[in-house]
Amino acid sequence: MQLSIVNESTRISPHERGFLYGDGFFTTVRVANHKLVFWDDHKARIQMSAQQLLFKDIDLSLVESSLKSLPKNAIVKIVFSRGVGERGYAIPQNSETGCWIFISPCRLDITAEPITLSVGFCQTPISVNTKLCGVKHLNRLDQVLARSEILAKGFDDGLLSDNFGSIICATQANIFIREDNVVSTPKLSSSGVAGVMRKNIMRWLAEEGIDVQETELSKAQCTTADEVFLTNCVKGIMAVSMLDEHTVKQMDCASRMHRRFFNLLNGSL
């Protein structure tokens, strides 16, 4: 595996399969107090993604050794690509994985309370493919089109559904809703990304005795839910205050979960 810390002098071959075909995957990690937050979970998803996409030479020890000295706060994006290969879609027999690490300043301060968002429903559907389900692969065209659509409508984010009408995720986050005392999140059996923050929110909810389930979510459920919130590893938990034309007044669960994330970043969890 070839690894590069990306800077202004970094060059990429035009024959790189990640560039040509989106043949690869990535993960984005928040850095707090010089440490990679949820790193074990990110490693587990890297290994899962490599297995699903038939990558054979991922060297996580090389990645870790390259990330020993980190800023106090930063965002680290780690991209894996199949490398340079012969022309054609077939996986080259002798390709060498490329690993590209982007280290960027973190300009988002996490406060003790979650930010609130106005969210709409996207007309752009999310692709369904059981072979790619859960993987944060390099083809993000669904999200590119959906995010452009939703920002043009004046919303902060948008919810994507599959061709069967089930809500899967937001353009850059996983989604949870609360109905009475039950929290639900879409099951990711045929579409969507297995978010690291999503995984930890489910664990935290269970630790606090809150019933959490993976299920199919409809638009109607989301608009009538007591509470709706989005999650990702950079922003933490984002409470939805407006969904389409519906006001969402409660954010109790979002606040509790976000406080745990805030405490984690500040070293008290």
Domain membership flag for residue 110: no
User: Which pTM does this prediction carry?
Assistant: 0.94
260 lies in the same domain as 128 = yes
Do residues 144 and 34 both lie within one domain? no
Identify the domain containing residue 206 by its residue range: 115-265
Confirm whether 205 is domain-assigned: yes
Residue 268 predicted with pLDDT over 60 = no
Q: State whether 98 and 22 are in the same domain.
A: yes
Q: Are residues 119 and 66 in the same domain?
A: no
Rounded CA gap, 17 and 19, in Å? 5
- Whether the per-residue pLDDT at 95 is higher than 90: the answer is no
| Same structural domain, 170 and 63 | no
Whose tokens are 């994985």? That residue is 97
Q: What is the pLDDT of residue 35?
A: 94
Residue 133 has pLDDT above 70, yes or no: yes
Q: What is the DSSP string of 85-150?
A: --SSSSPPTT---EEEEEEEE------SS-EEEEEEE-SSPPP--TTTTB--BS--HHHHHHHHHH
* CA distance linking residue 42 with residue 99, whole number of Å: 15
Q: Is residue 36 part of a domain?
A: yes
128: CATH: 3.20.10.10
pLDDT tens-digit readout, 100-116: 999 999 988 888 899 99
Q: How far apart are the first and last CA of the chain?
A: 35
Q: What pairing do the DSSP bridges indicate for beta strands 182-186 and 211-215?
A: parallel
Residue position matching structure tokens 């996580």: 60
158 shares its domain with 81? no
Of 100, 101, 99, 104, whose CA–CA distance to 75 is shortest? 104
The CATH number linked to 24 is 3.30.470.10
User: Among 105, 131, 147, which residue terminates a domain?
Assistant: 105
235-248 confidence digits (pLDDT tens): 999 999 999 999 99
